Structure 1
Amino acid sequence: MTSKPVHIGVLGTHSTGKTMLLKRIEMELLGHGVAVARTGRLAKRAAGIGLPKMAQHTAASTEWIIAQGIADEIAAATAVDAEVVLADRAPLDALAYLHAALEHRGERLDRPENERLRLLVATQMPKYDVLLATVLDESVPVDESHNYDARYRSLVDHHVHRLLADDAIPHHRVTSDHDSHNRAVERALELCLREAVV
């Protein structure tokens, strides 16, 4: 077992293959005997306790998602003595959703609150050994039952990639192309098998 688990985070706008990508990585790792823990469902859980979601996100709902995600990753790593932790939505994702929601509503976050949330996110990003950022392909159909706001979905994609670029955060872009997904899985698998004791 390594001294600390390998952390892999995924982020990107909704319905761009994040969960499927992590499931593929998880299945590959389990097939190699690597102990894996996976987190997720943060937005649904936030909505479940009455916090706003999607284009109605607020600073409070964003902070809850970031803080709960941090706690979930710690708990997941501890609970199964994981060699790899897969985070479905790295903290920067929540900040991108907030910025997109504010732009969508024509609102602005006051500077101290924005800086506080950015600092909270910045404390967490260095822990990821691999960060995978999905890229929106609007030509790929989505499940119509979700009733997504196309403009908001596009704004989230824009803010995810802008925040990554602004802070020069190392990451791998994952497009809807099958080969791109395969390369992302291979990168993650190679690192994990090199770092984890199997």
Structure 2
Amino acid sequence: MTHKPICIGVLGTHSTGKTALLRRIEMELRGHGLAVARTGRLAKRAADIGLPKMSRHTVQSTEWIIAQGIADEIACGAQGAEVVLVDRASLDAVAYYEAALEYRGEHPHRLEKERIRLLAATQLPKFQLLLATVLDPDVPVDQSHDYDRRYRGLVDRHVHSLLADEQIPHQRVTSDSHSHSHAIERALQLCLKEAAV
């Protein structure tokens, strides 16, 4: 690998438009001739190998998701991507895990919680842009998914609390079309500027 790709990550609770947002960014970037790769489907892949997901997340499933996400991002760069779009940045897995613990009324050992947070935090410097979707409870979700409203809300709260507590630079993306357009424009400007350097 002779270059370091531009890395844009998205995080947020389920069915808040993360994947659709990254698809739109990908289309715009490809339209400008950039080589783009998109990672994702980590929770499904974890479930496919027998790891728990959603409100049943454990420290092991969280660690696997973070580690597999890192491996996927590296593979994209090694295969020549100029831009890597990360569907569920590392901190997202921590929010899902901590929301699952709260949902179940469990309290992990302090050092275990710190270890998982640190693992995710080591990845944050690689992101040139983080987009955090915001839950709008009035927007209907896909009825084919059996979503627990309480858990979905907890994940949203944990995502934004982690970002605020750690003072991590990011852009909030609401369900409003103008907010999505602004996020896409910011990603496009960033990538075109970096590509020109």
Number of the residue aligned with 1:194: 193
What does the per-residue CA deviation read over 1:38-66, in whole Å, with 9 as the maximum and x for residues that have no partner? 10000000000000010000000000000
Percent identity between matched residues is 73
Q: What is the one-letter code of the residue matched to 1:46? A: A
Give the RMSD, CA atoms, in angstroms. Answer: 1.1
Deviates more, 1:178-187 or 1:108-117: 108-117
**What is the DSSP-based 3-state SS (H/G/I as helix, E as strand, rest coil) of the residue aligned with 1:68?**
helix
With normalisation by structure 2, the TM-score equals 0.98
| Large movers: runs of 4+ above 4 Å | none
Number of the residue aligned with 2:31: 31
Give the Cα separation in 2 of the matches to 1:109 and 1:88.
27
Consecutive unaligned residues in structure 2, runs of 5 or more: none
Give the Cα separation in 1 of the matches to 2:3 and 2:63.
29
With normalisation by structure 1, the TM-score equals 0.97
Give the Cα separation in 1 of the matches to 2:23 and 2:15.
14
Consecutive unaligned residues in structure 1, runs of 5 or more: none
- Counterparts of 1:83-98 in structure 2, within 5 Å, are 83-98=82-97
Number of the residue aligned with 1:108: 107
Q: What is the one-letter code of the residue matched to 1:111? A: R
Deviation at 1:3, TM superposition (A): 3.9
- Counterparts of 1:1-198 in structure 2, within 5 Å, are 3-79=3-79, 81-197=80-196
Deviates more, 1:132-141 or 1:108-117: 108-117
Give the Cα separation in 2 of the matches to 1:196 and 1:77.
14
**What is the DSSP-based 3-state SS (H/G/I as helix, E as strand, rest coil) of the residue aligned with 1:37?**
strand
Q: How many residues align?
A: 196
